[in-house]
């Protein structure tokens, strides 16, 4: 443990007969979860602006957790990793493989030109909702974890296994806090039995013709890759341009990377998702979903034709996000570049993706440089005890929701764990409408207080049902 570890050993608390609560015992949830989230939102932990804002909001957030969750800080071991990593250890009744519950407390910037209904860092609680940046991504999911643990501690509960709470303050900038925590646990011989991070949510009518709610649990996530294409050419006056300028080379390279650059294939999680959705439809849609669930090649073609999110589920995507080159309107730049963001499909790798990009560009004068890359995760099982436990916790907190696997298209901090933990899942137990999901990284982010209460129940059930 690092020198700045804050340790409260469970042996110092002694053992009472109420510690070993039966899974079905009722634990009282303390009031005020909305106010606790509000106070978290009021701290502008914008990781992309940390250099300008300074470390103050991040340190204040760590201090706020101490204030809001006194039992956790009396009973659990707390360790700091760098400036932005927090790891809590709740010792269980046995020394078996533990559970890692993850969240991050940094948020993305707010565009000053966007018209928010309430100021994004006010943390307004109104009309049964908590409003503000981070309400869904990811302080809402963090508060329900902390509340669940605090409530169980208040009832004298001890989990069956060790429970680790892993929180990072730089997830939105692909920082290293979660990586440091994962590496430390691996070096200590901790192979988690279950890792659960942000990801899917409880959604209504997730696909056309599908009825009811579904708890979408990410059983795998696509990899992320950032490439820079660069080219050099003859500079000079724009009045007499050569046939092939640096800008034109880059433009042609980007144009050659069409949506069809990468082959489509259907992950088993998507096939299982369609199989489950078939049970929630009728007539022709039911037959269609059943057909797609058993014909991966057809699913890949249909989803590709649909474009957008369905297409992204079955193939690697590539998008040019930044371009640079030139100093004046009438001067040919001698150097031009474009930055590409790729999301690598399951079953591929960083290396195979780069090779295909180079082949498709087919121009040796264009340099392809890897700026950052993480391969996709393997798919975690949907037939093991871990997924069954998640399903049980969903049933307790959202009785009408089916638990459905899917593939996450975004990257999460859990990617640092799947290399040594076979059961990594991505699910935030919050009810989110389509409009709410669109507000993540957007405008008017908000979460319903009732969803926070159900999210706390989800984690409380999951911890009580551990064996």
Q: Tell me: the pLDDT tens digits for 85-125? A: 999 999 999 978 999 999 999 999 999 899 999 999 999 99
Is the sign of the CA dihedral 355, 358, 364, 370 positive or negative? negative
Q: Are residues 173 and 294 in the same domain?
A: no
5 within some domain:
no
Torsion of CA 423, 429, 434, 435, to 10 degrees: -130
Q: Tell me: the pLDDT tens digits for 19-65? A: 445 555 678 899 999 999 999 999 999 999 999 999 999 999 999 99
Q: Whole-number mean pLDDT of the chain? A: 92
Q: Tell me: the pLDDT tens digits for 315-351? A: 999 999 999 998 899 999 999 999 999 999 999 999 9
CB-CB contact of 202 with 396 (8 Å)? no
What confidence category does residue 215 fall into, taking pLDDT thresholds of 50, 70 and 90? very high
* Total number of domains constituting the chain: 2
Which has the closest alpha carbon to 157: 96, 94, 95, 93?
93
All residues at 6 or more sequence positions from 105 whose CB lies less than 8 Å from its CB, including other chains? 40, 45, 58, 61, 134, 138, 139, 142, 167, 168, 169
4 within some domain:
no
In a 10 Å sphere around its CB, with 0-12 CB exposed, 13-18 middle and 19+ buried, how is residue 180 labelled? Answer: middle
Q: Are residues 210 and 235 in the same domain?
A: no
Last residue of a domain, one of 374, 389, 414: 374
Tell me, what's the pLDDT at 9? 35
In a 10 Å sphere around its CB, with 0-12 CB exposed, 13-18 middle and 19+ buried, how is residue 14 labelled? Answer: exposed
CB-CB contact of 90 with 150 (8 Å)? no
Q: Are residues 293 and 206 in the same domain?
A: no
How far is CA 384 from its chain centroid? 22
Per-residue pLDDT at 5 exceeds 50: no
CATH number where 38 lies: 3.40.630.10
Q: Tell me: the pLDDT tens digits for 431-456? A: 999 999 999 999 999 999 999 999 99
Q: Are residues 88 and 162 in the same domain?
A: yes
Q: Tell me: the pLDDT tens digits for 138-152? A: 999 999 999 999 999
Q: Are residues 188 and 51 in the same domain?
A: yes
Tell me, what's the pLDDT at 23? 52
How are beta strands 99-104 and 401-408 bridged, if at all?
A: unpaired
Per-residue pLDDT at 15 exceeds 50: no
What confidence category does residue 12 fall into, taking pLDDT thresholds of 50, 70 and 90? very low
Q: Which residue has the higher pLDDT, 81 or 8?
A: 81
1 within some domain:
no
154 within some domain:
yes
Tell me, what's the pLDDT at 8? 37
Tell me, what's the pLDDT at 239? 84
Q: Are residues 264 and 231 in the same domain?
A: yes
- Tokens 């507000």 correspond to 439
118 within some domain:
yes
Is the sign of the CA dihedral 47, 137, 419, 273 positive or negative? negative
Share above pLDDT 90 across residues of the chain, in percent, rounded to a whole number: 86
The mean per-residue pLDDT over the stretch 152-156 comes to 96
The encoded tokens of residue 192 equal 């988690």
Which residues does residue 226 pair with via DSSP β-bridges, in sequence order? 341, 372
Q: Are residues 234 and 205 in the same domain?
A: no
Q: Tell me: the pLDDT tens digits for 381-434? A: 999 999 999 999 999 999 999 999 999 998 899 999 988 999 999 999 999 999
d(CA 430, CA 446): 11
81 within some domain:
yes
Tell me, what's the pLDDT at 175? 79
Q: Are residues 275 and 216 in the same domain?
A: no
196 within some domain:
yes
Last residue of a domain, one of 326, 351, 374: 374
The mean per-residue pLDDT over the stretch 124-138 comes to 98
Tell me, what's the pLDDT at 319? 95
Q: Are residues 122 and 231 in the same domain?
A: no
Q: Are residues 138 and 35 in the same domain?
A: yes
CATH number where 260 lies: 3.30.70.360
Extract the runs of DSSP E, i.e. beta strands, from 36-162.
77-81, 85-90, 99-104, 125-126, 129-131
Q: Are residues 335 and 412 in the same domain?
A: no
Last residue of a domain, one of 330, 348, 374: 374
Domain that holds residue 53: 10-220+377-464
Tell me, what's the pLDDT at 3? 35
Tell me, what's the pLDDT at 237? 79
Q: Tell me: the pLDDT tens digits for 263-315? A: 999 999 999 999 999 999 999 999 999 999 999 999 999 999 999 889 999 99
In a 10 Å sphere around its CB, with 0-12 CB exposed, 13-18 middle and 19+ buried, how is residue 21 labelled? Answer: middle
Tell me, what's the pLDDT at 205? 86
d(CA 361, CA 88): 47
Extract the runs of DSSP E, i.e. beta strands, from 67-207.
77-81, 85-90, 99-104, 125-126, 129-131, 163-168, 194-204
CB-CB contact of 70 with 97 (8 Å)? no
Per-residue pLDDT at 14 exceeds 90: no
Q: Are residues 384 and 413 in the same domain?
A: yes
275 within some domain:
yes
CB-CB contact of 85 with 184 (8 Å)? no
């Amino acid at each position: 443990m690092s020198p700045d570890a804050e340790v409260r050993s469970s042996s110092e608390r002694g053992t009472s007969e109420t510690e070993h609560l039966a899974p079905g015992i009722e634990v009282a949830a303390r009031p005020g979860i909305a106010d606790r989230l509000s106070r978290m939102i009021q701290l502008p932990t914008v990781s992309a602006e940390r250099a300008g804002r300074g470390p103050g909001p991040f340190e204040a957030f760590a201090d706020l957790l101490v204030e809001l969750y006194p039992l956790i800080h009396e009973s659990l071991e707390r360790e700091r990793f760098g400036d932005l990593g927090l790891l809590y250890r709740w010792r269980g009744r046995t020394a078996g493989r533990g559970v890692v519950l993850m969240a991050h407390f940094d948020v993305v910037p707010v565009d000053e030109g966007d018209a928010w209904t309430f100021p994004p860092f006010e943390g307004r609680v109104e009309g049964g909702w908590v409003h503000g940046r981070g309400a869904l991504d990811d302080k809402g999911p963090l508060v329900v974890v902390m509340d669940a643990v605090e409530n169980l501690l208040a009832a004298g509960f001890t989990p069956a296994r060790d429970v680790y709470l892993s929180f990072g303050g730089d997830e939105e900038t692909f920082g290293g806090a979660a990586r440091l925590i994962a590496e430390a646990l691996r070096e200590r011989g901790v192979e988690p039995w279950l890792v659960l991070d942000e990801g899917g949510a409880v959604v209504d009518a997730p696909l056309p013709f599908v009825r009811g709610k579904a708890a979408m649990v990410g059983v795998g996530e696509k990899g992320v890759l950032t490439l820079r294409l660069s080219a050099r050419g003859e500079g000079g006056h724009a009045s007499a341009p050569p046939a092939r300028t640096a800008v034109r080379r880059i433009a042609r390279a980007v144009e050659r990377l069409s949506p069809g650059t990468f082959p489509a294939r259907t992950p088993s999680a998507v096939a299982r998702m369609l199989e489950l959705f078939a049970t929630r439809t009728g007539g022709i849609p039911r037959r269609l979903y059943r057909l797609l669930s058993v014909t991966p090649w057809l699913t890949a073609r249909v989803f590709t034709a649909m474009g957008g999110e369905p297409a992204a589920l079955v193939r690697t995507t590539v998008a040019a996000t930044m371009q640079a080159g030139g100093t004046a309107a009438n001067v040919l730049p001698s150097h031009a570049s474009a930055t590409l963001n790729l999301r690598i499909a399951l079953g591929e790798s960083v290396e195979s993706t780069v090779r295909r990009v180079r082949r498709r560009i087919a121009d040796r004068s264009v340099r392809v440089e890897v700026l950052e890359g993480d391969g996709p995760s393997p798919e975690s099982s949907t037939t093991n005890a871990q997924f069954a436990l998640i399903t049980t916790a969903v049933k307790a907190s959202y009785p009408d929701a089916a638990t459905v696997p899917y593939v996450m298209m975004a990257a999460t901090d859990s990617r640092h764990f799947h290399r040594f933990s076979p059961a990594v899942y991505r699910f935030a137990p919050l009810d989110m409408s389509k409009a709410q999901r669109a507000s993540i990284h957007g405008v008017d982010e908000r979460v319903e207080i009732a969803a926070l209460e159900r999210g706390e129940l989800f984690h409380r059930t999951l911890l009580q049902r551990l064996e």
